[in-house]
Structure 1
Amino acid sequence: MRHLHTRTSRRRVLGALAAGLLGTAGLAAPAVAAPAAQPAAPALADGLALTPPMGFNNWNSTHCRAEFNESMVKGIADLFVDKGLKDAGYRYVNLDDCWALPDRDADGKLVPDPVRFPHGIKAVADYVHSKGLKLGIYTSAGTKTCNSAGFPGALGHEYSDARQFADWGVDYLKYDNCNNQGVDARLRYTTMRDALRATGRPIVYSICEWGQNKPWEWASDVGHLWRTTGDISDSWGSMLGILKQNLPLAPYAGPGHWNDPDMLEVGNGGMTDTEYRSHFSMWSVMAAPLLIGSDLRKASPATFDILDNKEVIAVDQDPLGEQGRVVSSEGGRWVVAKRMKDGSRAVALFNESGTAQRIATTARAVGLPRAPAYTLRDLWRHRAYNTAGSIAATVPAHGTVLVRVGTDRRWAAHPPAVELGVDGRPLTVAGKATTLTSAVTDLGRTPAEHVSVRLRGPAGWTVRATSPSASAAVPTGRSLRTTWSVTAPPGTPTGSYDLTLRAAYRSPTGVRAAVTTALTASVVVPPPAGTSGLGDLPWLSATNGYGPVERNTSNGESAAGDGHPLTIGGVVYGRGLGVHAPSAVEYYTGGACEKVGADVGVDDEKGANGSVAFEIWADGTEVASTGVLTNAMPAQPITADVTGAQVVRLVVTDGGDGIDSDHADWADAQLTC
């Protein structure tokens, strides 16, 4: 939970674990190595949390606002039933901080806030239980909780507080890490484990010490789940950084003992639905707890569609209990595979980058035995196909294709899997025709017959095929390639626009199938001749670790426009870019530019913290880098020859100690064309 609303309060990630893993969108991320040691089998043989807990926690959507109250909690329980979330597996309705009064009573007991919970916690628990659901509660392993108001923590009151929770009918405890007075973490969390056990009530125990003491190495006999990271926030950069910290910890997860990368942000509004589907897909393939963090009373149909995808939930809840492991990660293209109890594999093709990318693997690479063919089921499209062994897709920017692949003997009953994509990156100048080439590739064991393909652009765009767009048959491993002339109307503003590529075909047995892929075309303008400040030029795309990329000011905090003059080592610069690691800003250079240069470093606005590395990439090749720079260092010059490049990318990565306070400046950044 994020009770202290400053970046330094609890957003420091695990430096050693994150080093090298917090890659920036579109970069060649290193393969994630698993920890060398295999953990011991868990000792908590109490039958609880044999699959990752699923439910709701109010903090991400309400914090400590007055709307967090008895009525809200009951309303969430009602929605679990009415919207089918209970049937999908969600069980826990969890209260976070601010449910209690700031002071204990004369007997040292916790007192529920009579304004928020006029009938007390037991009455709320009884209501939740009447719906066939379970109630969770929150406190901290310290003298106070994490909220600045300072509600009572459980340090020194473990047995009394645990007894109260049990008497109220609590089924789940989230135990935070604030105000812990320096007491050893294992001691604090083990004491509460023993106190909960002494009550005789089955209570799922969630250790929330943010991964500071590597609980995955010692907590399997203490709690049922443990936080592996700092707090998540509702942004792509936050979700991505946490994902990369949690992925290497797969060996430590299993039935009754789970890695917890924090709650879901799905539906809170800070990411797109594509990004939220990635969030939900990757949490599920990591066998993470699925705790809804959005206010379901205000949730859109799209949010419910994501949260209620039972095929994706089945990946998370598979009884084998394995966390997915990284098969490959290069250039922002991730393949993560999870072994399932029935022998199949759930495979996530995850695109970290800001542009569509082809991501591919094979059935053998994800651990399946050799077979004539395999059944591949797309868990978001809810369609099954056959494949000869290839698993591939053009994945949208920040998107995830999640499939389940197995050796089902009935593979021939399904149409062949086909892959859709285009060569290169669709970049077009308004009013000028651009040539694109699409490919419909048969990945199946059987041929695709009566194949046709269609490309559509936004209203007013001209899109026409200039080569055949249909074929009687496409054999296994072959492609129907079609060239297209695409023209955006004169005057079309720069930016990203949706293209839709759709292929229709039949299997040899007559089963009809159709596949649609969303592509993004960027309308660009040629760069101006001479030398220009990059803070003044339009960019193709921009991703940032915290808040937006700022033009000609520092990063500031999370809001747009809240930066300050760019300042490195006391030197103030008037122009440039203010970013926060991990960050990537792309510019269209159209083969007309020769040089990029800047003075770079950590901005002074965050004091003594922060370490970053700067890189310049030209068409996917790194052409300049600085190494690690810290706040104690003056600005360093960086220049790169980008002659002939179509796209130049400015990248900032973590310096190896986590991304806290990594405010980075591209001061006086200039492009010469």
Structure 2
Amino acid sequence: MRNLCTRTTSRRAVGVLAAGLLCTTGLAAPALAAPATAPAAPAVADGLALTPPMGFNNWNSTHCRPEFNESMVKGIADLFVEKGLKDAGYQYVNLDDCWALPTRDADGKLVPDPARFPDGIKAVADYVHARGLKLGIYTSAGTRTCDVAGFPGALGHEYSDARQFADWGVDYLKYDNCNNQGVDAKLRYTTMRDALRATGRPIVYSICEWGENEPWKWAPGVGQLWRTTGDISDNWGSMLSLLKKNLPLAPYAGPGHWNDPDMLEVGNGGMTDTEYRSHFSMWSVMAAPLLIGSDLRKASAATLEILHNKEVIAVDQDPLGKQGTVLSSEGGRWVVAKEMRDGSRAVALFNETGSARRMSTTATAVGLPEASAYTLRDLWQHQSYNTAGTISAMVPAHGTVLVRVSTDQHWAQHPPAVELGLDGSPLVARGGAASFTSTATDLGRTPARQVSVSLSGPAGWTVRAASASTVGALGTGSSLNTSWKVTVPQGTATGSYELTPSVLYRSPTGTPAQSRVPVTVTVVVPPPAGVSYLSDLPWVSAANGYGPVERDTSNGENGAGDGHPITIGGVTYPKGLGAHAPSDISYYTGGACSKLTADVGVDDEKGDKGTVAFEVWADGTKVASTGVLTNAMPARPLTADITGARVIRLVVTDGGDGIDSDHADWADAKLSC
């Protein structure tokens, strides 16, 4: 994080001083304004946000660009109605930073930017309310907001600003954390709570202090939701990092007080649809607020299908208000279960890894009582099955299977659940043949009949069954194993492709059922003989804390190509990889390489911030590491013996103090093969 008095376009890089410190400009902390008569002690139970708030926030898609304006906000409200999002439960249309002028008026009041909001905020609120929706607004618990321009914050103006918000008809306040002048966090946020309640208007209060002062321990009764993390970025690494921070906080969530791991990125383009379904599934099983962060004016059919999934939304909005708890997480295979008001359990099988994995639990393990059979509802496939008690699936890389399991007495009306999996190496050599084995297993209490398994691949690939692919019936726990030979054409480009095993079968009453599980395989070629720069070679996968991994530049935290020359300790490198912790980059070496070398360190562009550690793994074994490095250190030479390894991984961890400013460079990184 940067010093409070520094302005930056990256909101997550705008820091907050530790309690008791003052900004380096020497400004004293402003006094906290209070009304003439202090309000009565507020009731803890105010009836607000009894389920996690659902709606929209513009920041992730527009930031402070001119397109964020009155017309856009009204258009989002219209789309909520036209696209059925209102009917699905979304109700808040929230403005983020940059809605105000940079200075207050002569009376100390906030002034909406007349270029962006020519009719003012009240007119926008009236427009939103007329459509049966609610309006949210943003400010910061500091002297200025978080954007580079630094709009007026509410510190010292809490009661006046709250009164303006109420008079405008605001229904939701996001209260950020920048430029807070070191004022105690609980005091900052409690003062605004009291100011909001003094208006007499019910306003949902979102505490956005990034989890720095453990708000889950003191914010119930202060706000209805509190950020548990830093800002989300539209990439897998960022989403995964926030998810892991929020999952352990389940005991602190409940009706009217929610853990908030930040907004949704679904549809912004930085992740695959599989990853976005995981994002939406896991936010829902965590009972997190569902605030759409993509531009709905440009939303694809796939994006709207994810955001519209009422069965998944019902998990998030369950009135019991339980956040899902982690039952297991071994090897990146997460099982998270959420108790529902009707006694059922929502169960997420979440695969963090880069390859398809079989994941399994049981009905009793997720908290259901012993029963002869259960009903299992797949919330993405919208199909119901019966199970003898096993909850199991082959989960795609970065994917999530989300089910709802109950002791429904009508379980026999549904076909048996048949688990389908595909075993084999996810790396396939171009021009070669690979072997796979599909497995169809009856998990149900009833038999599966007329079972037929098939496997399809990309156009031009040859897929042939090498053993039986049909069977007359499968009883509970029985499996059909089929061997397959897959040949990849010589001219196939490197990259990811899908193999899709499918199973067709019938229930004992003749009801047809099917299951299909796309499995990602990667076509690879070994690196050339001699010495090659890693930035010139294709990687198998790359996960990053903020933004994509960059080739031959530092990490810019947002879109591809926004980095700068790699510079460590004053030395500039023309070649290398720019990452941001946590980061994991894998390469196929095919057993043909012997050595990896690089100069590693924190990029100079982060000033005096950033602590990271570098590791190299070869076929699952750590073969080199640096320990913690800081920005004050020069580049550290790193050499790893990778002799005979088929796959190597370049890993960056955060050094133990969070990931802000952790720009990690693999400068001059080379392979010897």
Whether the 8 Å CA contact 2:232–2:242 is kept in 1: the answer is: yes
% identity of equivalent residues: 79
CA distance in 2, matches of 1:653, 1:417: 40
Residue in 1 that maps onto 2:348: 348
Residue in 2 that maps onto 1:167: 167
Residue in 2 that maps onto 1:256: 256
- Say which SS state the counterpart of residue 247 (structure 2) adopts: helix
Residue in 2 that maps onto 1:300: 300
- How far residue 650 of structure 1 moved from its aligned partner, in angstroms, is 2.1
Q: Give the AA of the match of 2:631.
A: N
CA distance in 1, matches of 2:139, 2:551: 42
CA distance in 1, matches of 2:564, 2:139: 38
Whether the 8 Å CA contact 1:11–1:230 is kept in 2: the answer is: no
Residue in 1 that maps onto 2:153: 153
Matched, 1:176 2:176: yes
CA distance in 2, matches of 1:452, 1:372: 27
Whether the 8 Å CA contact 1:56–1:292 is kept in 2: the answer is: yes
Q: Give the AA of the match of 2:426.
A: P
- Say which SS state the counterpart of residue 467 (structure 1) adopts: coil
Matched, 1:222 2:226: no
Output one character per residue of 1:74-93: Cα deviation in whole Å (capped at 9) or x when no partner.
22222111211111111111
- How far residue 467 of structure 1 moved from its aligned partner, in angstroms, is 0.9
Unaligned residue ranges in structure 2 (runs of 5+): 19-41
- How far residue 390 of structure 1 moved from its aligned partner, in angstroms, is 1.9
Whether the 8 Å CA contact 1:12–1:230 is kept in 2: the answer is: no
Whether the 8 Å CA contact 1:13–1:230 is kept in 2: the answer is: no
- Say which SS state the counterpart of residue 321 (structure 2) adopts: coil
CA distance in 1, matches of 2:325, 2:359: 16
Matched, 1:450 2:454: no
Matched, 1:201 2:201: yes
**Between 370-379 and 450-459, the greater mean CA deviation after superposition:** 370-379
CA distance in 1, matches of 2:666, 2:213: 35
Output one character per residue of 1:624-671: Cα deviation in whole Å (capped at 9) or x when no partner.
434333334444455555455432222222211111222223345444
Matched, 1:479 2:470: no
Whether the 8 Å CA contact 2:423–2:436 is kept in 1: the answer is: yes
Mapping of residues 350-429 of structure 1, within 5 Å: 350-429=350-429
Matched, 1:6 2:10: yes
- How far residue 472 of structure 1 moved from its aligned partner, in angstroms, is 1.0
Q: TM-score, normalised by structure 2?
A: 0.90
Structure 1 residues 7 and 535, CA gap change in structure 2 (3 angstroms): farther
Output one character per residue of 1:215-268: Cα deviation in whole Å (capped at 9) or x when no partner.
111110111111111111222222111111111111111100111111111112
- How far residue 321 of structure 1 moved from its aligned partner, in angstroms, is 0.5
Whether the 8 Å CA contact 2:95–2:138 is kept in 1: the answer is: yes
Alignment size in residue pairs: 645
**Between 567-576 and 197-206, the greater mean CA deviation after superposition:** 567-576
CA distance in 1, matches of 2:279, 2:359: 18
Q: Give the AA of the match of 2:68.
A: F
- How far residue 53 of structure 1 moved from its aligned partner, in angstroms, is 0.7
Mapping of residues 13-24 of structure 1, within 5 Å: none
- Say which SS state the counterpart of residue 148 (structure 2) adopts: coil
CA distance in 1, matches of 2:63, 2:577: 32
Residue in 1 that maps onto 2:32: none
CA distance in 2, matches of 1:225, 1:242: 16
- Say which SS state the counterpart of residue 221 (structure 1) adopts: coil
Matched, 1:100 2:94: no
Whether the 8 Å CA contact 1:555–1:564 is kept in 2: the answer is: yes
Structure 1 residues 106 and 5, CA gap change in structure 2 (3 angstroms): closer
- Say which SS state the counterpart of residue 509 (structure 1) adopts: coil
Output one character per residue of 1:273-331: Cα deviation in whole Å (capped at 9) or x when no partner.
11111111111111111111122122112111111100000000011111111111122
CA distance in 2, matches of 1:128, 1:62: 19
Structure 1 residues 451 and 567, CA gap change in structure 2 (3 angstroms): same
Q: TM-score, normalised by structure 1?
A: 0.90
CA distance in 2, matches of 1:529, 1:117: 61
Structure 1 residues 444 and 614, CA gap change in structure 2 (3 angstroms): farther
- How far residue 605 of structure 1 moved from its aligned partner, in angstroms, is 3.8
Output one character per residue of 1:563-593: Cα deviation in whole Å (capped at 9) or x when no partner.
5555544556565433222111222233444
Residue in 2 that maps onto 1:268: 268
Whether the 8 Å CA contact 1:13–1:229 is kept in 2: the answer is: no
Matched, 1:555 2:559: no
Q: CA RMSD in A?
A: 2.5
Residue in 1 that maps onto 2:318: 318
Residue in 2 that maps onto 1:60: 60
CA distance in 2, matches of 1:474, 1:351: 28
- Say which SS state the counterpart of residue 220 (structure 1) adopts: coil
Structure 1 residues 142 and 636, CA gap change in structure 2 (3 angstroms): closer
Whether the 8 Å CA contact 1:141–1:178 is kept in 2: the answer is: yes
- How far residue 6 of structure 1 moved from its aligned partner, in angstroms, is 3.2
CA distance in 2, matches of 1:463, 1:162: 65
Unaligned residue ranges in structure 1 (runs of 5+): 15-41
Residue in 2 that maps onto 1:36: none
Matched, 1:231 2:231: yes
Residue in 1 that maps onto 2:502: 502
CA distance in 2, matches of 1:190, 1:258: 17
**Between 422-431 and 629-638, the greater mean CA deviation after superposition:** 629-638
CA distance in 1, matches of 2:267, 2:444: 36
CA distance in 1, matches of 2:494, 2:162: 59
Structure 1 residues 65 and 592, CA gap change in structure 2 (3 angstroms): closer
Residue in 2 that maps onto 1:334: 334
- By relative contact order (CA 8 Å, sep 6+), the higher-ranking structure is 1
Whether the 8 Å CA contact 2:12–2:230 is kept in 1: the answer is: no
CA distance in 2, matches of 1:455, 1:69: 50
Residue in 2 that maps onto 1:140: 140
- How far residue 595 of structure 1 moved from its aligned partner, in angstroms, is 4.6
Residue in 1 that maps onto 2:584: 584
**Between 279-288 and 55-64, the greater mean CA deviation after superposition:** 55-64
- Say which SS state the counterpart of residue 78 (structure 1) adopts: helix
CA distance in 1, matches of 2:396, 2:85: 28
CA distance in 1, matches of 2:377, 2:307: 19
CA distance in 1, matches of 2:564, 2:128: 48
CA distance in 2, matches of 1:118, 1:548: 38
Structure 1 residues 389 and 616, CA gap change in structure 2 (3 angstroms): farther
CA distance in 1, matches of 2:66, 2:666: 42
- How far residue 368 of structure 1 moved from its aligned partner, in angstroms, is 2.1
Residue in 2 that maps onto 1:511: 511
Output one character per residue of 1:334-384: Cα deviation in whole Å (capped at 9) or x when no partner.
111111111211111112222222222222222222222221111111011
Q: Give the AA of the match of 1:456.
A: S
